[in-house]
Structure 1
Amino acid sequence: MIPDIPVDTRVELPPCGTWPASVHLFDEASADAILAALAAERPLLVRGEPGAGKSQLARAAARVLGRVFVSSVVHARSEAQDLQWEYDAVARLGEAQVLAAVHSDLDHRERLDPRRYLSPGPLWWVFNWTSAQDQLRDYCLCKASPPAGLAGWTPEQGAVLLIDEIDKAEADLPNSLLETLGNGAFPVPWLEAPVGLSPGVPAPLVVITTNEERELPAAFLRRCMVLRLDLPTKPSDLIDCLVKRGGEHFGTQCTKAVRTLVAEQLVEDRARALDLGRPAPGQAEYLDILRALVNARGSSEAKQKALFLRIARFALDKTGARSG
């Protein structure tokens, strides 16, 4: 059975690897989208502007589902293989040259076994955690740490994989992912069998984000559940939304009056930026400003308001209209 995702309930997110502590609120659409992706065993593509909470959605889903969280950020040179496994051919060549120079008369096949230079990628970890651990422990020369796990977690509880900013990559990457995710397995050179799900282990929830910088292949879109995270367009609704989320993040450290003041200015600067076709401030910038006010001036409302008037333009004004 797939557990329900709590809606409009504060979810505490403790630090995880390089991810800082945070909080998350699921809305009904996000909760239903995760349920659909889990039930259909399809990836969930999350669309929306930067800073809307797309990446954090995956981490929060892992938290409420009791699954381990694994993440990977895509860049312009990323390939599907990078998400499966990595092979350090340079290290193998270097060791071969050293061994040949020092012990030219010996057979070094065991030392140069290609499996010693093979590292599990994110998909390997979420498909078969035990196999990835064995590879890292028994063979791999690079003793890198596995993804941060959960206390008491076992592979039978499942995993959530975040593939962040897939629109940075060429079309070959999303297209190649279709076969891997559809089959639930992928081949690895030098292994006798493909890496796939172990018996009794649920299929991972794969959350893929895009900032819409590049159009994604139609075939890929058809095989995904798709969720769009948008901020409200009506100014009063956007202000209410930001004030509520700011309260969840900072509580009594930042009064409602301060949160409303910041939200009203953001709405004004956002409208100006959108009219000019410039990047518009959103939720991320709003929370950045509140964090700056709390860290620099404590919980004094008067001091926070005064500081906000001095620094607002640095985070909220993307047009330069108030930079003087």
Structure 2
Amino acid sequence: MRQAGVIAVLLVVLVSGLFFVHGIQDWFVHHAIPLQREAQNALAGALRSLRAGQPGAVTGFLLLCFSHGFLHALGPGHGKAVIAAYGAAAPSSLRWLMALAALSSLAQATVAVVLVYAAVWLLDGARDRVEGLATMIEPFSFAIIALLGLMLVRRGAGRLIGIFARKRPTGHHHHVHGPDCGCGHSHAPDPAALAAARDRREAVALILGVALRPCTSALFLLILTWRLDLELLGILGAFVMGLGTMTVTVSAGLAAALLRRGMFLALPEGRSLAPAVALSELLLGALIAVLAGGMVLRLI
């Protein structure tokens, strides 16, 4: 009972920590919006310098793209929230979490490029139509994130069931099992292989969930550079902007994962972490599924 109480307290602290981070984000949003406007104005000035062929204009333009991506990521957006929630819920290595954050940011830039140039060929590049297409695919993004939450719920529930099942004494005859032992028992697949397959499915869902909601600043940049006949620089700028966004999403994911680890280190010595890990995964997965599902219902 004591362990269950400690786990419950840790989960409350973990979720409270996420909301505290969200509160800090609101403070950043208030201060970042004016900086975003200044960055947009500077970006427009850099494009004029590019058109005029001024020396150093390309370097200045790319630096502005990076800083604009960084500032834009501090504002409202679900990319960093999804990465942070996954880092808090899933027992992933920091390296794996950083890779997911990087891939999701670059995939988001890729979707922006594909969306704009598909609209250029099909819809003559009208900005309102491009933004309309982005709005149309947004519910699919949140639906995939809700699916990711359900995956975490399923994995956490499966682990809890396995933990409680192992605690029950069962009569069994003991002999060495092998793939060809002929004992008549059903041998499960390698647990490591199953875990790797689950991680890959979750990674695909996470990356798609973030990527299918492209950055509006990247859309604006790509349309503008297309109109100015600077298509290649616009595409490069969109990916550099994605690198700026990536710095924030990576930081958010690492902060959540380290917070999670710190909470579990507070468990009494000698106690198994398995129930706490499974329960946190189940509850945070349910939170992701409910919030993302609610956004789907609002958008359709």
TM-score normalised to structure 1 length: 0.22
Higher relative contact order (CA 8 A, sep 6+): 2
TM-score normalised to structure 2 length: 0.24
Question: Which structure carries more helix by proportion?
Answer: 2
